[in-house]
Amino acid sequence: MTISPKDVLNKNKNLNKRVDVNKINLNNISIDDLRYNGKNYDEYINLMSLLENVSACQVSDAYNGISKRSGTIQSIRPINNQKVFGSIFTAETSSDDWGTSALAIDAANPGDILFFKVDLDDKAIWGELASTCAKDNGIKATVIYGSARDLDALLYIDYPVFASNFCPNAGSALGLGTLNESVEVEGVKINPGDFIIADESGIVVIPHELFVQTMVAVLGVKLKESKIIDDIADGKTLAEIVGLK
């Protein structure tokens, strides 16, 4: 589906419009185009058309081709198998302090993804009530280097949660952590405003300064893999396609 001049001029723009992958145009995009601001319709639609159709695996491959880094944090796994992407709001706290989670929910902007670095995973700093509140505030997801709880609810709530562990117990509402400052997890430095994509395979963090270069590479990966799938449908084997035969 293409974007017409009428779409651009229309005051009631269709933000659900998507462009075919072969027609995606990433000229002039920036990480700010993850949000529609009233003036970036073309950039927003093209970026959404790409990100909604690629996986964390494909983004990791593209980023690795640029930086020789995967961008992954291996211990963080999906709790409820949902996909999300966006810009990061960071928080750091101790496992006995779930109060910092409540403060982060209030401080983050709609469209942000909360990323928590927690010192231990013996107590949960996130659960059903936090997810419900965050979703109501327009926050897109929560990623925790630490523990979540209330899996009986999180498995069915329409709010993506990723964590390195889970347990039934929690600490107290202390609110002693830090908000929106750089953190480092498993050798990966994470800054406020960095990009993250997360799905069933795990999470990938991209530094904001490499976002545009990575997105262009992601489009290349997507087009190449689409061609391989077409070749397989035409009867070629994977070994033939990659030159092993």
pLDDT (tens digit, 9 = 90+) per residue, 48-95?
A: 999 999 999 999 999 999 999 999 999 999 999 999 999 999 999 999
Cα dihedral 167/164/58/141 (nearest 10): 60
Q: Answer yes or no: is pLDDT of 11 > 60.
A: no
Same-domain pairing of 113 and 15: no
Of 216, 193, 197, nearest to 29 (Cα)? 216
Domain extent for 34: 5-69+210-241
**Average pLDDT, rounded, for the chain:** 94
Same-domain pairing of 180 and 230: no
CA distances from 116 to 28, 120, 125 (A): 31, 11, 9
Same-domain pairing of 85 and 198: yes
Same-domain pairing of 137 and 226: no
Same-domain pairing of 134 and 167: yes
CATH code (residue 175): 3.50.30.40
Same-domain pairing of 192 and 223: no
Of 117, 71, 84, nearest to 200 (Cα)? 84
pLDDT (tens digit, 9 = 90+) per residue, 194-232?
A: 999 999 999 999 999 999 999 999 999 999 998 888 888
Same-domain pairing of 62 and 91: no
User: Residue 106 class from Cβ within 10 Å (0-12 exposed, 13-18 middle, 19+ buried)?
Assistant: exposed
Tell me the backbone φ, ψ of residue 126, rounded to 5 degrees: -150, 145
Same-domain pairing of 202 and 216: no
